Structure 1
Amino acid sequence: MPLLLLDLENTLLDRAGPFRAWGERFLAGVGAPPTDIDWLLSIDADGLTDRWDVADAVRQRYGLRMPSIDLVEELHEGVLDAVRLDPLVACALRVADWAGWTPVVVSNGGVRQQEAMIRRSGLDGFVADWVISEEVGVSKPNPRIFAVAARRGRLPLRGAWVVGDGPEADIGGAAAVGLPSVWLHRGRSWGDSRFAPTRTADGVLAAVAAVLGA
């Protein structure tokens, strides 16, 4: 039963859509022009920017008096309220399980938000376990986080595959630990010459099919 190590945000669960929806509502509420959503998305950097830094940038741009902690909480809850588990992702995880694979989430981020996304979406019913960087003190692409995931899954890393949308964190992490990988391209082209994914797919269902086909 080999391991299937999967990224969370924008892989198993869509974050980009919920963040954009929250951003558009928030900007309308503070009287900002709709076009400012492009600025907010660039500041967020697809979730790679620390939440506190996003909050500080928003407060400064719009002269808001609300404390950063309140804005971070609003962002957190706004995104969580819109996160849903895609039935196709649930189907893909079931197929992987039936085929003898053990799905384990490996995610960079804060424990509170990441676990809330996993549990509130119902994803916890489709994976064997999860590893979150803040909890274990090491982040992708560091090979140690994948070793922790293997211990959580009670299986060796040998034979595992990594699936994710992050070129550096997921595909670079897989390369660092010597594992094959599937990159979810999300409409992008691969541009890193240091390493490359074993397969490329447009979604989790196609990624699982690629792994089973290999």
Structure 2
Amino acid sequence: MTKQKKLTLSFLYYLLSAFGISLTLKASIGVSSFNSLNATLSEFSQIKIGTITVIVNLLFLISCLVLDPQRKLRNYFTMGIALLFFGSTINLSIYFIFPLFTLHAYLLNCLLFVLGTIIAGFGTGKVLKYQLLKFPIETFCLFLANQSHHSFKFYRYSIDLFCILIALVLTFSFHLTLVVREGTIISLLLLSPVITLAKD
């Protein structure tokens, strides 16, 4: 497979991952650790959640650029473009497509969340498999792990914990919608195995 085809597929799987995340948001039973921060910041600031997702990821992308000893600007530019489309996919889904239908049964919302998590994990795994597009948070954690005595897992879980804590503090301080719920636990249990299967 040519590099151009891999890049095109990576881009499509990137968008697929964004669509999966959108489904988990639509389910309204809680979201993953990182998305709990994005969803809470979105409600707090009244900025669309896809836009918030782009902003937070761009902050991590800039941090990666600072830590990266090679600093291939073309790669970062490509990742930045992919992030813009990533956020746009979430906004399109959440604010224009998904309002066209409503799920009233809790079980259906749970099933929708599981489906969204599987889709997001599958898309993420495929992106990681091709190793052309990267996810800023994971890349940031890799750089930190390579330049310190702590492992990648330590930094990744630390960021998850930080996101949950900030989301909870904002939620209870400003009486926002609680998004750290059962979906957060489902995501913790399901997402990594799906990513691993898709990547192999």
TM-score interval w.r.t. the shorter chain?
under 0.3
Tell me the TM-score normalised to structure 2 length: 0.26
Tell me the TM-score normalised to structure 1 length: 0.25
Higher helix share: 2
Q: Relative contact order, CA 8 A, sep 6+: which one is greater?
A: 2
**Structure number with larger C-alpha Rg:** 1
